[in-house]
Amino acid sequence: MLSGKRILLIVSGGIAAYKVLDLIRRLRERGAAVTPVMTRAAAEFVTPLSLSALAGEKVFRDLFDLTDEAEMGHIQLSRSADLVVVAPATADLMARMAGGHADDLASTLLLATDTPVLVAPAMNVRMWQHPATRRNLATLRGDGVRVVGPNEGDMACGEFGPGRMAEVPEILAAIEAALADGPLKGRRIVVTSGPTHEPIDPVRYIANRSSGAQGTAIARALAGLGAEVVFVTGPATVAPPAGVQVVRVETAREMLEAVQAALPAEAAVFAAAVADWRVANAAGQKMKKDGSGRAPALEFAENPDILATVAGLSKGRPRLVVGFAAETHDVEAHARAKRGRKGCDWIVANDVSPATGIMGGAENEVTLITAEGAETWPRLTKHEVAQRLAQRIAEALA
């Protein structure tokens, strides 16, 4: 899949830069050609010699290197690739990208390029969470830049949280997805999946039996058609697919926040089984028996409806909003009503009455409700349902 592809790899200055040495090896193993570019700060973390030795190509470092300008101008350098990958992408380089700066070779290439760009952010937790970085990230996404990671974990600076650069296999999968040719190439789609967990106290929660299988299959199918998928998942039992940007959440409110942060997008598919209610009086400490024999009374508050919220956006609403409806009787009538109530474009309805064996199973039998009417699909595997739905989404966005 990567064979013959040209990757322009921009390395900026962060401790995660050591991982790009392995990334270069894996890319070359797969037949890709890698042209490395490094910022001044990157040279503090990895040497130009190791980059060029592994890439088997010259490392470009300076905007004013006249020999390089003669051989290959920066415009040409920025456009000769199939994909520009920025790894690690520091907070500073992301800010300069978002601001359209062109004050060194890396930023100039990024401004001059008409090639798709993928960034793998890596920075301190606070820097990642800073409103300035949030704004820059939203700007970059709006400009069509793809993002892989960062992951949560221990940081070199001793802190814990999101900010670790994605691992090499994840970056490879994101590169493959970015280069995948398909009808959804360059289209950003948000998919929610899995159950939510609503805390009762720090150790207990209310959940549901959603495995995340259908949502995962949909995300995989969309990525397979070339879409840039942001996969917002609750604690599911099936692993998220490769080649998508995974955002892990627990509660409905976190899921809504993650979906809003992932917008703008051209389409959104809400396959998650979101809890309608959360515990309003969740305890800050583990609840204990008090010896009185009385059980604690839980109070509930309604969760935000993520589907209805996004479908109702007056500004920045995805062009296509797809919801799901799990019903046990009168499937079509209920699903039609739900489509109207939630304000979404399509509803994928299925019969989850126990006799069907669909809940938790590998197969699904769905009715697709659109403005044009209802169509019932034959019993298919969840994988096949996902393929069909992805194909339909591609047609709708075409």
Using the minimum distance from each CB to ligand C5P, give the nearer residue, 128 or 270. 270
Q: Check whether 324 is labelled as a binding-site residue.
A: yes
d(CA 23, CA 360): 37
- Taking CB under 6 A as the criterion, which residues in 192-221 touch ligand C5P? 192
Q: Which two tokens stand for residue 320?
A: 């296509």
Using the minimum distance from each CB to ligand C5P, give the nearer residue, 173 or 273. 273
Using the minimum distance from each CB to ligand C5P, give the nearer residue, 55 or 190. 190
Q: Specify burial of residue 187 (Cβ count, 10 A radius: 0-12, 13-18, 19+).
A: buried
Q: Check whether 296 is labelled as a binding-site residue.
A: no
Determine if 268 is a binding residue for ligand C5P (CB under 6 A). Answer: no
Size of the site for ligand C5P (CB under 6 A): 13
- Taking CB under 6 A as the criterion, which residues in 175-194 touch ligand C5P? 192
Per annotation, catalytic residue among 132, 157, 203, 333: 157
Determine if 346 is a binding residue for ligand C5P (CB under 6 A). Answer: no
- Closest CB 219 distance from ligand C5P, rounded Å: 13
Q: Which two tokens stand for residue 34?
A: 């890698």
Q: Check whether 338 is labelled as a binding-site residue.
A: yes
Q: Which residues contact 314 (CB under 8 A, 6 or more apart)?
A: none
Using the minimum distance from each CB to ligand C5P, give the nearer residue, 149 or 234. 234
By rule CB under 6 A, what string of x and - marks binding of each residue 52-91 to ligand C5P? ----------------------------------------
d(CA 82, CA 178): 10
First CA to last CA distance, the chain: 24
Give the other-Cβ count within 10 Å of 5's Cβ. Answer: 19
Q: At what angle do helices 19-29 and 48-55 cross, to 10 degrees?
A: 10
Using the minimum distance from each CB to ligand C5P, give the nearer residue, 10 or 272. 272
Q: Specify burial of residue 284 (Cβ count, 10 A radius: 0-12, 13-18, 19+).
A: exposed
Active site residue 157: yes
Q: Are 305 and 279 in contact (CB under 8 A)?
A: no
Q: Which two tokens stand for residue 147?
A: 């993002």
Residue from the set 198, 305, 345, 351 that interacts with ligand C5P by CB under 6 A: 305
From 138-146, 154-162, 216-224, 305-313, span contacting ligand C5P (CB under 6 A): 305-313
Q: Which two tokens stand for residue 186?
A: 């360059």
From 129-137, 178-186, 270-278, 349-357, span contacting ligand C5P (CB under 6 A): 270-278
CA distances from 101 to 73, 93, 139, 312 (A): 18, 9, 14, 36
- How many helices (H) and strands (E) the chain has is answered by 14, 21
Q: Check whether 304 is labelled as a binding-site residue.
A: yes
Q: Which two tokens stand for residue 169?
A: 């296999």
Determine if 306 is a binding residue for ligand C5P (CB under 6 A). Answer: yes
Q: Is 24 left (phi over 0), alpha (psi -120 to 50) or beta?
A: alpha
Using the minimum distance from each CB to ligand C5P, give the nearer residue, 76 or 237. 237
CA distances from 188 to 35, 145, 152, 393 (A): 27, 10, 23, 12
Residue from the set 39, 303, 350, 367 that interacts with ligand C5P by CB under 6 A: 303
From 113-121, 136-144, 268-276, 283-291, span contacting ligand C5P (CB under 6 A): 268-276
Residue from the set 39, 323, 369, 387 that interacts with ligand C5P by CB under 6 A: 323
Q: Check whether 286 is labelled as a binding-site residue.
A: yes
Residue from the set 2, 109, 140, 274 that interacts with ligand C5P by CB under 6 A: 274
Q: Check whether 19 is labelled as a binding-site residue.
A: no
Place of tokens 């809940």: 359
Residue from the set 91, 324, 331, 364 that interacts with ligand C5P by CB under 6 A: 324
Q: Check whether 306 is labelled as a binding-site residue.
A: yes
From 175-183, 286-294, 302-310, 382-390, span contacting ligand C5P (CB under 6 A): 302-310
**Sign of the dihedral defined by the CA atoms of residues 78, 79, 80, 84, in that order:** positive
Q: Specify burial of residue 226 (Cβ count, 10 A radius: 0-12, 13-18, 19+).
A: buried
Residues forming contacts to ligand C5P in the complex (CB under 6 A) are 192, 252, 270, 272, 274, 276, 303, 305-307, 323-325
Active-site residue list? 157
User: Which positions make up the binding site for CTP?
Assistant: 276, 286, 304-307, 324, 338, 342
